[in-house]
Amino acid sequence: MTDAETIDPAGVAIVYARPALLPAFCATLDLVARERMYIEMTEAPSQEQLATFQMRMLALNMPVFYALSGERVLGWADISAAGNPRLAHRGFLGMGLLPEARGLGLGQKLLEAALKHAREQTALEKVELLVFTSNIAAIGLYRKFGFEEIGVIRHFRKLDGVYFDCLEMELFLREQPTHLGVL
């Protein structure tokens, strides 16, 4: 897409992922990763690795949503569960948007779809996320949806000699049962 082209948010569909869209998702993830500032990876895994991950997510009916314009994936939101059965009540949010798709409300729509699916279609009890403290727009979005701060992980990442701090946040999807926490 050129700078002269714009995205009409009304023409963007938020859809549940499907295998035919995996190559477009891979390209989008790679573009966002290569920005080196919003997500931890600096390039997408191989299309085969992504397909394995996404197909597992779909098989488990986990939240995996794309913002779709025609056949182009403009962004995504997914919530994956931990592989350890003792941690399977926790989901982990991953999301991103192409630069030209930011600021159009698509992140909000993606997050809304993913959280709705998590509440209605999974046994997840809470969703956790990590966001770089420099990503003010994303932090504002997460707060708007009720995510609360757990804490800051200082020097979470070091890239090209620069440290990035990370904010950890959580959102409980269901009423919290009493727990046995000993400090």
Q: What's the whole-number average pLDDT of the chain?
A: 93
Cα–Cα distance for residue pair 121/114, rounded to 1 Å? 10
- Boundaries of every domain in the chain: 10-128
Query: Can you list the alpha helix ranges (DSSP code H) found in the chain?
Result: 22-34, 47-59, 106-121, 136-144
Cα–Cα distance for residue pair 149/69, rounded to 1 Å? 33
126-137: pLDDT as tens digits: 999 999 999 999
Q: How confident is the model at residue 141 (pLDDT cuts 50, 70, 90)?
A: very high
The upper half-sphere exposure of residue 104, i.e. CA atoms within 13 Å in the direction of its Cβ, equals 19
pLDDT for position 177: 67
Q: 109 and 67 in contact (C-beta within 8 Å)?
A: yes
pLDDT for position 174: 86
Q: How confident is the model at residue 180 (pLDDT cuts 50, 70, 90)?
A: low
pLDDT for position 181: 63
CATH assignment of 10-128, given 3.10.129.10, 3.40.630.30, 3.40.190.10, 3.40.50.2000?
A: 3.40.630.30
Check pLDDT > 80 for residue 178: no
Cα–Cα distance for residue pair 134/127, rounded to 1 Å? 21
